[in-house]
Amino acid sequence: TVGAVALDDQGRLAAATSTGGRTAKWPGRIGDTPVIGAGTWADGDCAVSATGHGEYFVRAAAGHEISARIRYLGETLEQACAAVVQDDLPRLGGTGGVVAVDKNGRVALPFNCEGMYRAAIDGQGRATLAIYRGE
Amino acid sequence: MPIAIALHGGAGTLRRSEMDAAAEQAYRAGLARALEAGHAVLRAGGSALDAVCASVCALEDDPLFNAGRGSVYTLDGKQEMEAAVMDGSRQDAGSVTGLGCVQNPVLLARAVMERSPHVTLGFAAAEDFARREGLDMRPPEYFHTDKRWQALLLEKERLASGGKDEDIPEDRKHG
């Protein structure tokens, strides 16, 4: 699954996700990507795109949950993403990760598996391009 | 206002010891191209929506990644692609599922958001809408990669010998 999130110079946030699904999935199976609020979410606070075992992202309403934690609990983007990716998803049995950006240009790239193909340039111009854990 | 962008090309069992240098270089180059495609839009004053679509199109066109051209196969040997977009400034959304011949599913998701009264379209209805919108369509051969096909054959073999669906190896699952 591929995806991107962005913040533009007008303060607008957007998210996009695209996938071929899972190898040998049942024909007709629908994953998290086209389920708005699961694999893809954007509002005035943050934008989120997810990759991983889609059924668990649907059950966790992962993208919307990250936004709700920011809005209602006052968490930072990093805290909200960590709560969903490192706590909620593993509790359900789900593996994968998200990329997210908030309205201030902060970026989060958490995952709970061995690695995630990822790249970013945050609001301060700091660039990241990595595959493995620890990079 | 600052500009920012982040993208992913999949996640799973990605170990340094299991990827050769050439493959790793190709993946990193693909990620860099996609990042630049979106960031260039933002640097030019374009919208976040245009930027994420540019990045995702670059990844969909790269057969290394499991989307668009590099999509994995279903149990019956076909491809069913999905995509979604969301514009945070209007909390507007569009998504598509069950696509087999749309070159860039993300652009169809955007068309659903911007030019239909719906949020999600699937299968034949989504592809009919793509044709009406004049989006680029491709034959099945365009989306075929040997690596994904071999992954399907291996998985079918495992299932035929009593393997459980949920025990699919991580590296095979998402291509």
- Chain A residues in contact with B60 by the CB 8 A cut-off are 2, 18
Whether residue A71 has pLDDT greater than 60: yes
Q: Out of B5, B85, B119, whose CB is closest to A121?
A: B5
| Cα-based distances in Å from B135 to B94, B109, B172 | 16, 11, 31
Q: What is the pLDDT of residue A69?
A: 98
Partner-chain contact B56 A1, CB within 8 Å: no
Q: What is the pLDDT of residue A80?
A: 98
The two beta strands, A96-102 and A107-108, are: antiparallel
Q: What is the pLDDT of residue A109?
A: 98
Tally the C-alpha atoms within 13 A of residue A65's C-alpha that lie toward its C-beta: 21
Whether residue B171 has pLDDT greater than 70: no
**Start-end of H helices in chain A:** 54-60, 62-73, 77-82, 89-92
Q: Which residues of A are catalytic?
A: 1
pLDDT tens for B93-103 read 999 999 999 99
pLDDT tens for A44-68 read 999 999 999 999 999 999 999 999 9
> If you measure CA to CA, which chain A residue comes closest to B23?
A131
Q: What is the pLDDT of residue B169?
A: 67
Distance from CA of A50 to the nearest CA of B (A): 8
Partner-chain contact B66 A19, CB within 8 Å: yes
SS3 label, residue A63 = helix
Q: What is the pLDDT of residue B12?
A: 77
- Chain B residues in contact with A17 by the CB 8 A cut-off are 56, 83-85, 106
- Chain B residues in contact with A108 by the CB 8 A cut-off are 6
Whether residue A9 has pLDDT greater than 90: yes
- Chain A residues in contact with B78 by the CB 8 A cut-off are 27
Q: What is the ipTM of this complex?
A: 0.98
pLDDT tens for B102-146 read 999 999 999 999 999 999 999 999 999 999 999 999 999 999 999
Mean pLDDT, to the nearest integer, of B4-11?
96
Q: Out of A11, A113, A117, whose CB is closest to B31?
A: A117
Instruction: Identify the residue with better confidence: B150 or B165.
Output: B150
Do B151 and B172 touch, CB atoms closer than 8 A? yes
> If you measure CA to CA, which chain A residue comes closest to B108?
A18
Whether residue B164 has pLDDT greater than 80: no
Whether residue B18 has pLDDT greater than 80: no
Task: Tell me the C-alpha distance between A7 and B1, whole Å.
Answer: 9
A-B C-beta contacts closer than 8 Å: 344
Partner-chain contact A15 B89, CB within 8 Å: no
Q: Out of A11, A20, A24, whose CB is closest to B81?
A: A20
